[in-house]
Amino acid sequence: MTRSDADRMRKLAAEAVTGLVADPQTWHATLGAEHVPLVAAVRWFVAAGEAPAAVEMVANLFRYWFDDRYHAVGYELAAAALAMPGASAAPRYLDAVMVWAGLTFVTGRPADAAYDRLLTEARQRGDKVNEVEGLIGLARVAARAGEWVRVREHALAALELAESTGDGAHRRVPAHALAAAARAMGDYPEARRRYTESIEIGMRMGLAWHVPSEQRNLGHVELRCGNLGEAEQLFSTALAAARRAGTTTLLRCGVLDFGILAVAKGQPERGAVLVAAAMAAFTAAEVVLDPDDDEEYQAVRWKLRDTLDPARLAELTDRGSALSLDEALTMAQQDGIADTAARP
């Protein structure tokens, strides 16, 4: 790679900041086609000792790295850029720390120290936006440990700080965290209110990936309340939007959602196939479930064990695990398939 090549990739990464929000499907495809030179450019800047450029590229591509296909390389590059002499003086330093901390979490590593670092340095620099991110990161860590009271405490602190910025957009992530805590603690009216707020903010911001994520979360609230029709509508809407946005993680989530819905509708065999297909897809991608999704998965897993004969459950699990993601999505969206259709 030459300097000219590296500079061209740096420019592309800068353009991707708005592109990944306005047209995520097109821009993920554009960046994916340039994946090798993009990665090579960050490594070139690291090797050349050009910390500002390396840190900037890591920060600008954060929505790209959070596509689960690129978690591992994104984490590696963020860590390398932040370890460079002079990295802390780079203009996008704190944004890169936020990326590194987030990738530490989503790759399943202990992330307490990473989010503590982000929070401490944001406070030292008076960066309220990244301070909010640090607090929400600690909320995510607490959620993974099942400590939902702590999740709520961190999220409320983040919400207060977000409101002090004067920019309502910064309420989005605290609203999500408060919704997740309320959902886990059984306060479904509060969870519904907070998810709805998060969806509305995401819509105003044009976040094509965020809105369907929250719609499916709201669907699980409705499912817990026994509102199967509302849940199915939300899951369908979210899955259609995920397809338009090209968000692979949400497609896997959609298969899981419809598997859980099938069990709730009295179709445990169909549900077992879909749940197994979703989990096989997550495992193949080396993706760790979010804490709220893992809670739903564990609940349906025990329900299937209580409902189905062990041998039959094992057979259905094998069948689901062998499905491709496209096959599983087709099955998920086939309405009204009875359990008997799952049998040989």
Q: What is the pLDDT of residues 33-80, one digit of tens each?
A: 999 999 999 999 999 999 999 999 999 999 999 887 899 999 999 999
* Domain count for the chain: 3
Is the separation of the CB atoms in 124 and 95 below 8 Å?
no
| Contacts of residue 139, Cβ cutoff 8 Å, sequence gap at least 6 | 150, 151, 154, 155, 158, 177, 181
Residue 222 resides in a domain: no
Provide the sign of the torsion angle of the four alpha carbons 149, 176, 213, 57, taken in this order. negative
pLDDT tens-digit profile of 261-312?
A: 999 999 999 999 999 999 999 998 888 888 889 999 999 999 999 999 999 9
pLDDT at 335: 61
Q: What is the CATH number of the domain that holds 185?
A: 1.25.40.10
Same-domain pairing of 125 and 46? no
Q: How far is CA 4 from CA 27, 80, 177, in A?
A: 22, 22, 43
Same-domain pairing of 251 and 309? yes
CA gap 228, 265 in Å, rounded: 8
CA gap 276, 285 in Å, rounded: 14
Spans in the chain with pLDDT lower than 50? 336-344
Q: Where are the alpha helices (DSSP H) in the chain?
A: 3-22, 24-33, 35-47, 51-60, 62-65, 71-82, 93-106, 112-125, 128-144, 148-164, 172-184, 188-205, 210-224, 228-245, 248-264, 268-284, 291-307, 310-321, 325-332
340, burial (CB in 10 Å: exposed 0-12, middle 13-18, buried 19+): exposed
15, burial (CB in 10 Å: exposed 0-12, middle 13-18, buried 19+): middle
CA gap 123, 276 in Å, rounded: 44
Is the separation of the CB atoms in 234 and 216 below 8 Å?
yes
Instruction: Give the range of the structural domain holding residue 47, as residue numbers without chain letter.
Output: 1-108
Same-domain pairing of 212 and 340? yes
pLDDT at 213: 94
Same-domain pairing of 320 and 213? yes
- pTM metric for this prediction: 0.89
DSSP 3-state assignment of 324?
Answer: coil
Residue 157 resides in a domain: yes
Indicate the length of the chain as a whole number: 344
Is the separation of the CB atoms in 136 and 155 below 8 Å?
yes
- Domain end position, chosen among 205, 240, 272: 205
The torsion angles phi and psi of 199, rounded to 5 degrees, stand at: -65, -45
Region of residue 86 (phi > 0: left; psi between -120 and 50: alpha; otherwise: beta) = left
Same-domain pairing of 117 and 62? no
Same-domain pairing of 277 and 334? yes
Same-domain pairing of 47 and 141? no
